Amino acid sequence: PLNVLILIKEYEGEGEEHIPTLGIPDEEFSAVKKLITREEVRVISLAKLQLRHDMTLWDIGAGSGSISVEADHLLPNGRVFAVERNPQCLHFLRENLGKFNTRHVALVEGEAPDCLETLPDPDRVFIGGSGGNLWEILETVDERLPAEGRVVVNAVTLDTLTAAIEFFENAGYELEVTTVNIARTHPLTDYKLFEAHNPVFVLSADKL
């Protein structure tokens, strides 16, 4: 007869049960209104990052921490550095990291690119917000990212999209841009209508 022994490691500590899933509903996160990567965009962004279990990820402009929380589940032997400067966002970021019992996320309070100097070199970089410093951030990322590293930028304005494309093309990255348009059903009396959200441009850039 075949005997199968399954060992399940139990973790102690505060926070909710570790949930290894993608697309945690937006309402599960504490967040400043509109300063959260929506779940559909989040899943696409994480897919574009192509994370492996032992990688180091910089999450720049972490906001509510939704990307960091979900990346934590995908990096059991890796590290996530959630970089944020906004005091209000930092409050919710700390709350979410505790709520979801993240184990591999370090909170970095400060303004990029200056606060990136002391971090270990990344394998992957996600930029969800730049505070007007996108070009300077990308220059620092380019200096620290190894060959075959990947950067994913979420742009909601044409200015950010144009600047990111210009940088990656000038720096010789292999670039792909995906436009994500989301519409969710919205109840209206006895009917349901689709409510559209602003499009998000997801840039995936590989360093050659």
Give 129-151 pLDDT, tens digit per residue.
999 999 999 999 999 999 999 99
Give 51-60 pLDDT, tens digit per residue.
999 999 999 9
DSSP summary character for residue 114: G
Q: Are the CB atoms for 136 and 165 separated by under 8 Å?
A: no
Q: From CA 90, how far away is CA 83, in angstroms rounded?
A: 9
Q: From CA 98, how far away is CA 104, in angstroms rounded?
A: 12
Give 84-114 pLDDT, tens digit per residue.
999 999 999 999 999 999 999 999 999 999 9
Helix or strand run (H / E) with residue 66 = helix 66-74
The band of 7, judged by pLDDT with boundaries at 50, 70 and 90, is: low
The neighbouring-strand residues paired with 194 are 185
Residue ranges and CATH numbers for the domains of the chain are 26-206 (3.40.50.150)
Instruction: Supply the pTM of this predicted model.
Output: 0.88
Nearest to 128 by CA among 99, 152, 148, 144: 152
